[in-house]
Amino acid sequence: MTRRWGRWIAGAIGIALVTAVSTARNPVFQGADPHAVMIDGEMWIFPTGGPGGSWAADRFGAFSSRDLDTWTSRGEILRRDQINWIGDDGAKAHFLWAPGVATRGGKWYLYYSVGPQNPTPSRIGVAVADAPQGPYRDSGGPLVTGGRQANGQFEAIDPMAFVDPRSGKAYLYAGGSAGAKLRVWELGRDMVSLAREVPIDQPPNFTEGAFMHERNGVYYLSYSHGRWNHPDYSVHYATARSPIGPWRYRGAILKSDASHQGPGHHSFVRTRNGAWLIIYHRWDALAGPGPLSGERQVAIDRVRYATDGTILPIVMTDGNEAPTLPGTGKRGE
Say if domain 22-303 classifies as CATH 2.115.10.20: yes
Mean pLDDT, residues 118-140 taken together? 96
DSSP 178: T
Are the C-beta atoms of 271 and 325 separated by less than 8 Å? yes
Q: How many residues does the chain have?
A: 333
Phi, psi of 81 (to 5 degrees): -75, 0
| CA separation for the pair 230, 260 (Å, rounded) | 11
Mean pLDDT, residues 215-226 taken together? 98
Pairwise pLDDT comparison (92 vs 332), residue with the higher score? 92
| CA separation for the pair 298, 284 (Å, rounded) | 10
Residue 57 pLDDT: 86
How confident is residue 30, by pLDDT bands cut at 50, 70 and 90? confident
Are the C-beta atoms of 233 and 262 separated by less than 8 Å? yes
**Domain boundaries in the chain?**
22-303
Nearest to 65 by CA among 323, 318, 302: 323
List the catalytic residues.
33, 208
200, with CB counted inside 10 A (0-12, 13-18, 19+), is: middle
200-213 pLDDT, tens digit per residue, is 999 999 999 999 99
Nearest to 117 by CA among 153, 81, 152: 153
Residues β-bridged to residue 23: 70
Mean pLDDT, residues 211-218 taken together? 98
